[in-house]
């Protein structure tokens, strides 16, 4: 009987820990209602890991949902027809990584820019993007800035998210071939893995995707730089 009483007292605390927030595993614990004296209780765990790879904040910062290895891959860059330089940096907390610095035509689909970097649920991951031209301002446009900032001309999207409706991806417009595999043509939504995040960016114009201006401005297509961020779980937090 003593064993049964202490088991019951422990269950509420365990349940609270299992359901603390959406960045930790959830699940259930089951145990017999009574245990014969002299025997051991058999306890069963059912653990469910988070579905997504990262939470996307309202400033397009990525927050890992579990301890993971991060991988960043090029999808493509249509910046000035590939003739001008684009740059990409990643910042994890206070450490900055230079991922790309070359002409856009070399930002080719499948190229791995970063891999095997361990991130935890407490980490904040941000990206800085730059297009080098007289129009762009020649500085990095960083996430972790308000979406109302004129230089916040990009967005991070998860699987099933809607593309902005004024972009070609969201309005059955002219989509570059490198981006088509990541677009669900029937619903104009993102088609990527459950633990992936896609960034689409406009690197010249200084207005946000929420303030896109003239719908006839076909240059604002958010296809100047497109890349994929993948989270590969590596165990417990």
**Tens of pLDDT, residues 12-33:** 433 333 333 444 454 455 666 6
State residue 69's pLDDT score: 98
Burial of 50 (0-12, 13-18, 19+ CB in 10 A): buried
pLDDT at 209: 52
With 50 as the cut, is the pLDDT of residue 179 above it? Answer: yes
**What is the band of 147 on the pLDDT scale with cuts at 50, 70, 90?**
confident
For the purposes of burial, counting CB atoms within 10 Å of the CB of 25, is it exposed (0-12), middle (13-18) or buried (19 or more)? Answer: middle
52 token code pair: 């997504």
Is the pTM above the cut of 0.85? no
Question: For position 6, what pLDDT does the model report?
Answer: 46
Non-local (6+) Cβ contacts of 34 within 8 A are: 4
7 pLDDT band, cuts 50/70/90, is: very low
Q: What is the CATH number of domain 54-233?
A: 2.60.120.400
- Is the pLDDT confidence value at 144 over 60? yes
Residue with tokens 């401005």: 217
In this predicted structure, the answer to whether residue 9 has a pLDDT above a threshold of 70 is no
Q: What is the spatial distance between Cα 104 and Cα 172, in angstroms, rounded to a whole number?
A: 24
- Over 60: is that where the pLDDT of 50 sits? no
Residue 156 and residue 143 in contact, taking contact as beta carbons nearer than 8 Å: yes
Domain boundaries, the chain: 2-48, 54-233
Question: Taking residues 159-184, what's their average pLDDT?
Answer: 79
Q: 16-20, 38-42, 85-89, 222-226: lowest mean pLDDT where? A: 16-20
Residue 212 phi, psi dihedral angles, 5° rounding: -75, -5
CA quadruple 181, 187, 191, 196: dihedral, nearest 10:
140
Quick check: 166 and 220 in contact, CB under 8 A? yes
Q: Which tokens sit at 123? A: 């980490």
Structure tokens at 6: 């202490």
Enclosing H/E stretch for 12: helix 2-18
Helix, strand, coil shares, percent, the chain, to 5 = 15, 35, 50
CB distance 187 to 163 below 8 Å:
no
Decide: helix, strand or coil at residue 105.
helix
Residue found under tokens 């690197």: 203
Q: Which of 140, 99, 142 is nearest to 117 (CA)?
A: 99
């Amino acid at each position: 009987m003593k064993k049964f009483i202490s088991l019951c007292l422990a269950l509420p605390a365990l349940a609270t820990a299992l359901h603390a927030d959406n960045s930790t595993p959830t699940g259930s614990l089951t145990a017999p209602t009574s245990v014969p004296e002299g025997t051991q209780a058999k306890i069963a765990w059912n653990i469910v890991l988070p579905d997504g790879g990262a939470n996307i904040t309202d400033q397009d910062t990525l927050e890992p949902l579990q301890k993971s290895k991060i991988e960043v891959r090029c999808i493509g860059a249509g910046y000035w027809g590939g003739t001008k330089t684009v740059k990409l940096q990643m910042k994890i907390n206070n450490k900055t990584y230079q991922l790309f610095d070359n002409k856009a035509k070399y930002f080719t689909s499948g190229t791995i820019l970063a891999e095997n970097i361990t991130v935890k649920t407490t980490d904040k991951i941000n990206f800085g993007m730059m297009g080098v031209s007289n129009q762009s301002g020649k500085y990095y446009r960083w996430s972790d800035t308000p979406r109302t900032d004129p230089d916040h001309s990009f967005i991070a999207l998860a699987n099933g998210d809607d593309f902005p409706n004024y972009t070609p991806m969201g309005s059955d417009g002219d989509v570059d071939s490198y981006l088509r595999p990541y677009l669900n043509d029937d619903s104009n939504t993102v088609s990527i893995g459950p633990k992936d995040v896609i960034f689409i960016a406009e690197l010249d114009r200084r207005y946000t995707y929420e303030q896109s201006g003239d719908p006839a401005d076909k240059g604002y297509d958010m296809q100047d730089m497109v890349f994929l961020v993948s989270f590969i779980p590596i165990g417990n937090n």
